[in-house]
Every structure is written in structure tokens, then in C-alpha cells.
Amino acid sequence: MVSSRFCLFFSLIPSLVAAQACQLQFDGRIDADLAAADFDVPNDIFSETFVIGQGLVFSKALRLLPAAAGSSFDVDIGAEPVEVLISDDSIFQDQVAFRRAELLPASNDGADASTQGVKTLHFSVLKDAVRPLNLSHEYQLVFLESQDFSTNQFVLKTGSILGQNTADPDTLQLFGNLNDGQLLFSTAFTAGVFHNFALTLDFDQLTTQVFFSRGGDALASVTDVLQNDVSGQGQFHFGVLKKPVGGVGDITQNGDQPDAINEGIIFGGIFQEDSADGCISLEP
Ligand SMILES: *[C@@H]1O[C@H](CO)[C@@H](O)[C@H](O)[C@H]1NC(C)=O
């Protein structure tokens, strides 16, 4: 069997399926010849500026792993997974009660085509057994923040969600627009295996459909096409945003963050494809 990107639209035309079947909007998969320091300077993969602690550089907040350790969407093209790390110094601007470091696609300036039409966002997340999260806290791992910073149109969280009674904090919980607080999908956050997500975001119809798999399995839909207000454009974030506990009022400023933080999450297979014609890669 030919290893190829499965594409719903072109699936009846196998000769077109080989290599890249769907047109890419951005590609966050990292060539094996790149080093963490390449992300300290302008590059065509991720912003060298945002989001990182004051005075820090991305080479101190990123750890590149061998390509062989990648998600199936990385291994397919020999790309390296990347771990995003936080420490006590991961204080972005004046947000003294948050610890955060996030990768933003270089081409995603908040008003670009990645938040127009119909796009499918791919990413995979893996725990680091050596740098575990503290599940007493809430974390945002992947989100779209609107251009006016007023909401997240979707957000993948883990840990103890603030304002909720989280039954099992060791869960990946994907929420729709925070204005509605709709839980789109949740699944156990299992050690030692990549959790592969694809989100088809329809910026015209204002819907979201979630596809998911673990490890090397092909993605499968885990939701219907759900109403979800994805309007407002903005930027996609991939990383670790750790919220405080016990914060009152503005939690960017108030709440507890115990020190000696050494935490990280491993990302693979970050890319976005154009699904205006129904194209979506369910397997590499
Ligand atoms: C995890 O966070 C809680 C709440 O901030 C804190 O009390 C606890 O000491 C932390 N655990 C570790 C291992 O850091």
C-alpha cells in the first residue's frame, strides 16, 4: 500500500494522493537540520518574539527531540518534535501570575488566511515523564486567541480547570469559544503516546469538527460539525500556559505559582491545511 496523505476530496484519484494532497496554509513541522537557536531569530516556522518570558529566548524554552520520536505526521517527513518548556522565569510581559511559553506560526499575524475560509489545524501532544505538569493547576496547551484578545475561539486544556470541578485533571479537554464554554471533546491524557488532533474550523459557517487518534492510528471524527463561534481571526498558540491557583480577580496578576517549575509538553505535527474543498489528511 502506498504511504500517502489520505484526502477525502481526492481519494478517488490515487495518483494525486501521494506526497501533499491538501494545500498547506502553514507548516510548523521542523526539519531535522534545525536547532533550537534557529528559533531565536526570524524564521519561516514560528515567531521569534511571542510568546516567551521577558528577557528569555526560545532556545532556552524549546527542546528538539530526535525525528524518530515524532508523531506519525512528523515521522512521515522526517520532522523533529519540539518540547515547549516553562520555568519560574516564564513571565510574559506583566503577567506575573502566569507561567507561559507558546509557539505561534510565523505567517499567522492575526489577520491572515489561517483564520479565513475553511481550514484544518493539525497538532499532536505528548507528555514528558521527566517534566510533568502539576495537575493542581489549569493549563492551556493549544488555543486560538482572537485578534482583539477578547476570547479564545477554541482551547485545549488540561489539569484542574478553574471554576469547574474537574473529575480527573489528567484529561485533555477541548473547549469551544470561551464565551460559550462548550466542551467539544475530552479524552484521557495517556503517558507515552502522542495524542493527534485535527480541528476543521469553518470561519464562514462558524463551526468546528474534531478529529482525533492516539499514536500511529489514523485520525477519525470524534464530533459532528458543531456550531462554534470561530469568528474574530487571531493567532494560534502551541505551548504551555500555566494559570495560578487561588487567584482572585485578574488571574494574570493574582494567585499562587509555586517555584522550582520544570515542566514541558512535547508537540509534533503542527500544520494547517486548506479544507475549503473538503480536503483533510486523516493519516500521514
Ligand atoms: C502543585 O501545585 C500546588 C498548587 O499550587 C502546590 O501546592 C503543590 O506544591 C505543587 N506540587 C508540586 C510537586 O510542585
Q: Tens of pLDDT along 102-134?
A: 999 999 999 999 999 999 999 999 999 999 999
Q: Separation of 242 CA from ligand 1 center, angstroms? A: 12
Q: What is the mean pLDDT of residues 90-105?
A: 98
Task: Write out pLDDT tens, residues 21-49.
Answer: 899 999 999 999 999 999 999 999 999 99
The residue behind cell 492516539 is 214
Q: Separation of 137 CA from ligand 1 center, angstroms? A: 8
Residue 84: Cβ within 10 Å count = 27
Distance CA 12, CA 54 (A): 51
For residue 256, the ligand 1 atom closest to its alpha carbon is 5
Q: What is the CA radius of gyration of the chain?
A: 18
Q: Separation of 256 CA from ligand 1 center, angstroms? A: 9
Q: What pLDDT shows up at residue 20?
A: 53
Mutate to test the pocket of ligand 1, among 88, 130, 136, 170 (most ligand atoms within 8 A of CB): 136
Task: Write out pLDDT tens, residues 163-189.
Answer: 999 999 999 999 999 999 999 999 999
Question: In the predicted model, is pLDDT for residue 5 greater than 90?
Answer: no
217: confidence class by pLDDT, cuts 50, 70, 90: very high
Residue nearest to ligand 1 atom 4, measured at CA = 136
Give me 142's grid cell: 493549544
Q: Separation of 117 CA from ligand 1 center, angstroms? A: 43
pTM, to two decimals: 0.93
Residue nearest to ligand 1 atom 13, measured at CA = 134
Domain architecture of the chain: domains with CATH = 24-276 (2.60.120.1160)
Residue nearest to ligand 1 atom 11, measured at CA = 134
Distance CA 86, CA 76 (A): 29
Q: What pLDDT shows up at residue 284?
A: 86
Task: Write out pLDDT tens, residues 261-276.
Answer: 999 999 999 999 999 9
